[in-house]
């Protein structure tokens, strides 16, 4: 039963890879450590990349950018992430 399940996962991943190759998210596969599932997740969550001015804008949409707190003239940077933006993008980025 496990062999059949493994084969189904392999077949689904192969089919997903073929679909991914027809999308702008295919470029993500050139990043070491990024496979078909991660690239597909991120590509689906980000949608059309042309809606972002640049890569920084897309990254900010994930909510994974460092935040800074400023109060009484003192600044604390790098104390966490903003968590603003798309939950789906954050999940895809952290896979």
Boundaries of every domain in the chain: 2-93
Residue range 7-29, pLDDT digits in tens: 999 999 999 999 999 999 999 89
Q: Which residue has the higher pLDDT, 36 or 86?
A: 36
Residue range 37-63, pLDDT digits in tens: 889 988 888 888 899 899 888 877 777
CA angle 81, 31, 14 (to 5 degrees): 110
pLDDT band of residue 84 (cuts 50, 70, 90) is: low
| Terminal Cα distance for the chain, rounded | 27
Residue 21 in 3-state DSSP? Answer: coil
Q: Which residue has the higher pLDDT, 11 or 76?
A: 11
């Amino acid at each position: 039963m496990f062999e059949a399940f493994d084969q189904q996962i392999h077949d689904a991943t192969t089919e997903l890879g073929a679909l991914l190759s027809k999308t702008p998210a295919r470029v993500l596969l050139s990043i070491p450590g990024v496979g078909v599932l991660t690239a597909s997740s991120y590509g689906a969550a980000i949608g059309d990349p042309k809606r972002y001015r640049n890569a920084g804008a897309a990254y900010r949409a994930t909510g994974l950018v460092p935040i800074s707190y400023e109060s009484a003239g003192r600044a604390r940077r790098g104390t966490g992430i903003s968590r603003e933006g798309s939950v789906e993008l954050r999940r895809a980025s952290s896979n």
